[in-house]
Amino acid sequence: MPDTAAPTGATPIVLAYSGGLDTSFLVPWLAERHRRPVITVTVDTGGIDAAAARALAARSRALGALEHHQIDARADYFEQVLRFLIMGNVRRGQLYPLCVGAERVMQAQT
C-alpha cells in the first residue's frame, strides 16, 4: 500500500461534505492524491438533526478526515432565501415549492 500520510505542516484541503457517495469518495481520494489532510464542512440549511450531525461527523472521520465542522446556516437561509420563496409562492411546474436546491447558494457563500 502506498504511503499516503500527509507531510507535517501540509495545508489542509477543505471539502464541502454532504455525506453522500461523491463527497464520501472524495475524502480518502483527496488525501491520497494530494497527500494533504482533509477537513470536511457541512452547511446546515435545515433538515439535519443531532443524530444526523453525529453520523456525518463520524462518517467523515471514518473516511480519514482530520476534522469535521458543521455550520448552522438555518436562520440566514430563511432570512435571505426561503422566506422570499414562500412569500412569492414560487413553484416549479406550478406544483412543487421551489426551495429544493435553493440552499446551494447559501452553502457556497458560507
| Confidence at residue 43, expressed as pLDDT on a 0 to 100 scale | 94
Q: What is the CA radius of gyration of the chain?
A: 17
Q: Three-state SS for 54?
A: helix
Tell me the C-alpha to C-alpha distance, in Å, between residue 51 and each of 19, 31, 47, 48, 54.
Answer: 13, 27, 11, 8, 5
Predicted TM-score of the model (pTM): 0.77
Q: Say if residues 91 and 63 touch (Cβ distance below 8 Å).
A: no
Confidence band (pLDDT; 50, 70, 90) for 1? very low
Q: Is the pLDDT of residue 80 over 70?
A: yes
Fold of domain 13-109? Rossmann fold (3.40.50)
| Confidence at residue 56, expressed as pLDDT on a 0 to 100 scale | 97
| Confidence at residue 49, expressed as pLDDT on a 0 to 100 scale | 95
Each residue's pLDDT tens digit, 4-59: 566 778 899 999 999 999 999 999 999 999 999 999 999 998 889 999 999 999 99
| Confidence at residue 85, expressed as pLDDT on a 0 to 100 scale | 78
Domain boundaries, the chain: 13-109
More confident call, 3 vs 103: 103
